[in-house]
Copies of this chain bind each other. A is one copy, B any other.
């Protein structure tokens, strides 16, 4: 796996929670071959190349369904990223007077659409998050009101990696007839997800993180018999004669030309996950995370935020060095050691209010399948040197 940037320098890329890099070679190939050989418009026209493009879309839809145990692939809606999927789910479902339960560790892609809906007469309850256990099911149960329409939570925090007890909360939602939406931005392709066993009604996921696809891809799983107001109307290929959107999923929610090359790459990314095995990927990312945490604990002046070592988590670690700005630490890691980290709030300001790290945030290191133990060691040596300065 080559990890050279455009300067030809060997990077230690630890910003996989933003976008995974590098991608499997098959992903690059799939994008390129799609553009060169199958570059027509999917679901429009009827000529051979348009049908080939349409087949790519369907194949990737099928792979996503398989990965998340979605009973019907046509319930997978392609979006340009997880943010669009979250906006579609939130705005398409909620009506004035509805109540929503969420947490304080949500990304702005959940918090901001909810804030917008609040202005339109939606009531929002934000539950505090336990650093080691996430949102407790009992808290959720207590927060339910007669008008609670939606429970929306991330599967894992993008700041601390803490995992929410999705299965238990899904059961509560199902028992009470509340729609359950999960933001899988940090878990899709990294942690096992089963929308049926977890009672998930709406699952928003990016294509360019754990699923190893290109940027510009993502999607929303929508449980059958649940209908949303589309975020966008437009050409849907079929049913062109009507002035309103078709009822059919996914057509109803996929107006305009899809990102076929991106979706081809996403399919190759998911195929790679199937080949390697999600459990193998998860174990490797876990091992890297544990190794980093162990090393960080031994560096004087380092403060780690998040679940204690040994607990299940997403491969995301937030830390600070006493007396140093996260932005400065991240800058030095990049400049002196060619280590790509991310400093700041990570688009989740509420989480930092809880952690006491508002408003400079933390330094975040996040792993992907292509990181190595040697890279973790080099990173620990670099952090140790910066902390000792």
Report A's interface with B, CB cutoff 8 A: 2, 4-7, 11, 13, 15, 18-19, 21-23, 27-28, 31-33, 35-41, 44-50, 52, 80-84, 86-87, 107-109, 111-113, 115-116, 206, 208, 214-218, 231-237, 240-245, 255-262, 265, 327, 330-331, 333-334, 338-349, 358-359
- Identify the 5 closest CB pairs spanning chains A and B, nearest first: A216-B259, A83-B256, A235-B347, A112-B233, A109-B234
- CB within 8 Å for A87 and B232 given contacts A18-B40, A32-B32, A216-B80: yes
The answer to whether A327 touches B47 (Cβ under 8 A) is no
Pick from B44, B83, B257: contact of A235, CB under 8 Å: B83
Chain B residues within an 8 Å CB radius of A232 = 83-84, 87, 113, 231
Chain B residues within an 8 Å CB radius of A50 = 15, 18, 340, 342
Chain B residues within an 8 Å CB radius of A256 = 80-84, 109, 218
The answer to whether A31 touches B32 (Cβ under 8 A) is yes
The answer to whether B21 touches A49 (Cβ under 8 A) is yes
The answer to whether A258 touches B216 (Cβ under 8 A) is yes
Residue of B nearest to A216 (CB): B259
**Given A5-B48, A81-B257, 18 additional A-B pairs, CB 8 A:** A6-B37, A7-B48, A11-B49, A18-B44, A19-B40, A19-B257, A23-B39, A27-B35, A31-B32, A44-B342, A48-B340, A87-B234, A108-B234, A214-B262, A215-B261, A216-B257, A241-B345, A259-B259
